[in-house]
Amino acid sequence: MPKRVLQGTVVSDKNDKTVVVRVERRFTHPMMKKTVRMSKKYKAHDEENACKVGDLVTIQETAPISKDKNWVVLKDAQAQ
């Protein structure tokens, strides 16, 4: 099964080797037919502490690294 890859914005880099990434998704409400924006936060592993708040990053699902960290930062999406 392929690993999930998501794109989001770094909202916190205060932890060592960890960043919190907010991933936003948009969908049409089934009854109201209005576009709804929902977001979710993921903790991702950042080995070099390279990511800063506001950076656009790509994260990939991985084996558990800690209790609530199952994602790893692949690359800075703005550097592409």
Amino acid at 11: V
The pLDDT tens digits of the residues spanning 13-47 come to 999 999 999 999 999 999 999 999 999 999 999 99
Residue 78 pLDDT: 65
Q: What's the CA gap between 50 and 69, in Å, rounded?
A: 17
**Domain map of the chain by residue range?**
5-79
Query: Which CATH number is correct for 5-79, 3.40.190.10, 2.60.40.10, 3.40.50.40, 2.40.50.140?
Result: 2.40.50.140
| Tokens encoding 19 | 């960043």
Please list, in sequence order, all residues whose beta carbon lies within 8 angstroms of the beta carbon of residue 8, skipping any fewer than 6 positions away.
21, 22, 23, 24, 42, 56, 57, 59
Q: Is the whole-model pTM more than 0.85?
A: yes
Burial of 60 (0-12, 13-18, 19+ CB in 10 A): middle
